Amino acid sequence: MSTAFLAILYRDISMGSGENTCGLILLARPSADFVAPRLRNWYACHTLYHINVLPRCVAAWFTARQALPPFLLASLFMVSALHTLSGVSRDASNLILATLRALLFGAFVACSPGTSRGLLPRQQAILDSIPRDIRTVLTHLKIEPVITKYATCPSCSCLYAPDPTKPDEQYPPHCTFADTTDGPPCGSPLIKKERRISPDDGPLYTHTPLRPFPYHSVSSWIAGLFSRCDLEEVVQGAWERSAPSDGRWYDILQAPALQTFLGPDRQLFSRQPNNDVHLVFGLYLDWFNPGGNKKAGKSRSLGAIYLVCINLPPYLRFRPENICLVGIIPGPNEPSLHQLNHFLRPLVDEMLVLWHAGVYLNQTALHICGRLVRAAIIPLICDLPALRKAAGFASHSSTHFCSFCLLKKSDINNLSRPWPSRSWQDHLVIARQWRDACNRRDRDTLFDKHGLRWSELLRLPYWDPTQYAVVDAMHNLFLGELRHHCMDVWGINVKDYKDKTVKKMSSHTPEEQQKCLDRLVAALRKGALGSVTQLRKGYIVALAQLNNISPMKMTKREYAKSLLTWVCIQFTTLIVHD
């Protein structure tokens, strides 16, 4: 994660130099007048932003950084960039640090006055301030984000936060979570014993999670976002910039659902009083195989939870350094059904604070006195399986296949709108009944009836699952799902014959069309399925649609069977009436 921070650092340091040059090249030959004020300003902003996120001794931290000469600070940035941005290994980075110490020692000795070959105390202090390990450099520069390592139950995926008062036993030994009130506790082990590398005076062993879940604080990420003057300026003017003028929408922030979205004070969220900033995030979830998608490879699955700041314009929104990676869901398999709620719980807890109280930044890049920031998650943008799991809906292949209406799978061919729908309040009532059920049998009964489960996102008082669960455009447009529905499911481009030599059938004249329809009617009167299927599918489909006949499958044979069944029913009805 330090990669994004280093990319920002080098770009910010080089800003205002008047040279169209990479910041890394500028730092290769730094001057004190150029580097020093930029590094000091960056450190001043970057430390103060995190006061409200993690309490730390900012004065002592900043004083320690002031003791580093600008050229040494630039050297540490260079080595960090090589390690994180260019992929230089840890051993090679450590070798570069040793080389820097050797070169600096030679320079001090060569510049020593007289015949003395010893180092002055200040020179020795500078040499001692160069770390011997790249991990110490990354810690020294404070460019790593604020990460909380949760212990995850291997069986039920319940999370356990570390206890800072017990540094050697931060996590409980076993899981105590019970899925329902009548169910037994899980009891699976959570930790393993590991030998310390350098125990010093402490215990020889420490306890680490068997299945860790790293969580990145959203408040910390927001603080880093507001440490960049260019992004703060763009974010604070996003709502005014996105106000619709000509009736056209060019970005999701112009959508009516966001423009009419109300804040906790029941005023428009787009109004930012008292110099506050209101952020809107989009939530993304996806899983991937860390070993690659190979048929012969091992099947493993890791998940990622992302937040994308919609206040940023599209050309900045999806850059890696501007995306908040909230957490990595551990493998080796995806969490089943509602177990995903455990991984969403820390995010929802933090978003509730950002919604009701917000986070006050003591200082930002553009406001030295600080400002208040509020945030909300509105669109949930995932592929279909992840969306149903995160929002608490049933699978797309179940009886309740749709997340927008109440049609059942048996009525999937019903194209008559409007379809029956469920309100937000009805959804909440059913989901809470499922959550509060005493046993799994009651939960299964509710799910079979309504196709809903509880989702942690429903704890957000503003999140409407009937409106904010967005259809994934990547799979529907870019990967051909819409084409599949139009051509294969709806039969828009269905060919009557499997003979690949027939490229295109000739069109019929009105007289030929009348003859084909007469032959179809005669075949239906005879009740001969083979005679009906000899005709073109277009005639069969047209006659079926004219009489509101919709088979389960959109094939010619199914249409023919449905027409014959309909004819038999009509004939029987006429006989009964006569």
Average pLDDT over the chain, rounded to an integer: 79
Q: How far apart are CA 80 and CA 93, in angstroms?
A: 8
Phi, psi (degrees; rounded to nearest 5) at 453: -125, 175
| Structure-block tokens of residue 540 | 């069969």
| Residue 215 and residue 148 in contact, taking contact as beta carbons nearer than 8 Å | yes
Q: Is beta strand 469-470 parallel, antiparallel or unpaired with respect to 371-382?
A: parallel
CB 196 within 8 A of CB 203: yes
| Tokens found for residue 452 | 């809903």
> Alpha carbon of 55 to those of 49, 51, 61, 215, 354: distances in Å?
11, 5, 12, 18, 18
Residues 6+ apart with CB under 8 A from 91: none
Structure confidence at residue 575 (pLDDT): 56
Location of structure tokens 């005679």: 531
Rounded distance between C-alpha atoms, residue 268 and residue 376, angstroms: 13
The model's confidence at residue 152, banded by pLDDT at 50, 70 and 90, is very high
With 60 as the cut, is the pLDDT of residue 200 above it?
Answer: no
Predicted local confidence at residue 29, as pLDDT: 32
The pLDDT value recorded for residue 245 is 67
Per the CB < 8 A criterion, the answer to whether 166 and 172 are in contact is no
Helices (H) and strands (E) in the chain, counts: 24, 11
How many other CB atoms sit within 10 Å of the CB of residue 361?
28
Q: Which residue has the tokens 């787009």?
A: 270
> What confidence score (pLDDT) does residue 289 get?
82
Q: Which two tokens stand for residue 427?
A: 């959804």
The tokens for 212 are 């860790």
Element (H, E) at 257: helix 256-259
The pair of three-digit structure tokens given for residue 324, joined into one six-digit string: 């908040």
User: Rounded distance, CA 210 to CA 190, Å?
Assistant: 6
Phi/psi of residue 232, each to 5°? -65, -40
Q: Which amino acid is at 402?
A: C
Token pair of 157 as six digits: 């995926």
Q: DSSP assignment, residue 174?
A: B
pLDDT for 91-119, tens place per residue?
A: 999 999 999 888 888 888 877 765 556 77
**How many whole angstroms separate alpha carbon 374 and alpha carbon 352?**
10
Query: If you average pLDDT over residues 20-39, what whole number do you get?
Result: 35
Token reading at 398? 């179940």
Q: Residue with structure tokens 């070169």?
A: 103
Predicted confidence band of residue 9 (pLDDT cuts 50, 70, 90): very low
Question: Sign of the C-alpha dihedral, residues 214, 217, 223, 228?
Answer: positive
CA separation for the pair 143, 237 (Å, rounded): 27
Global pTM reads: 0.69
Q: How far apart are CA 213 and CA 511, in angstroms?
A: 71
Residue type at 493? N
* pLDDT band at 6; cut points 50, 70, 90: very low
More confident residue, 184 or 570: 184
pLDDT tens by residue, 117-140: 677 888 888 888 888 888 888 877
Beta-bridge mates of residue 325: 306
pLDDT of residue 495: 52
Please give the structure tokens belonging to residue 313: 């314009």
Place of tokens 């910390």: 220
CB-CB contact of 186 with 153 (8 Å): yes
Q: Residue 442: pLDDT above 70?
A: yes
pLDDT at 497 over 80: no
The residues, any chain, with a CB within 8 Å of residue 212's CB and separated by 6 or more, are 149, 150, 151, 152, 330
Q: Which of 116-125, 292-301, 341-350, 512-521 is predicted with the least confidence, judged by mean pLDDT?
A: 292-301
CB burial of residue 141 (10 Å; 0-12, 13-18, 19+): buried
User: Bridge-partner residues for 282, per DSSP?
Assistant: 308
Sign of CA dihedral 379, 380, 382, 383: negative
Helix ranges (DSSP H) in 283-332: 314-317
Residue 23 contacts residue 10 (beta carbons within 8 Å): yes
Strands (E) located in 537-577: none
97 in Cβ contact with 130 (< 8 Å): yes
* Confidence check: pLDDT of 399 > 80: yes
Q: Enumerate long-range contacts of 44-48, CB under 8 Å, 24 or more apart.
A: 44/363, 45/227, 45/363, 45/364, 45/365, 46/142, 46/224, 46/227, 47/142, 48/362, 48/363
DSSP 441-509: HHHHHHHHHH-B---GGGGSTT--HHHHEEPPHIIIIITSHHHHIIIIIS-TT--S---TT---PPPPP
Is the pLDDT confidence value at 2 over 50?
no
Q: What is the pLDDT of residue 573?
A: 65
Query: Crossing angle for the helix pair 2-14 and 70-84, nearest 10 degrees?
Result: 140
Mean pLDDT, to the nearest integer, of 26-43? 40
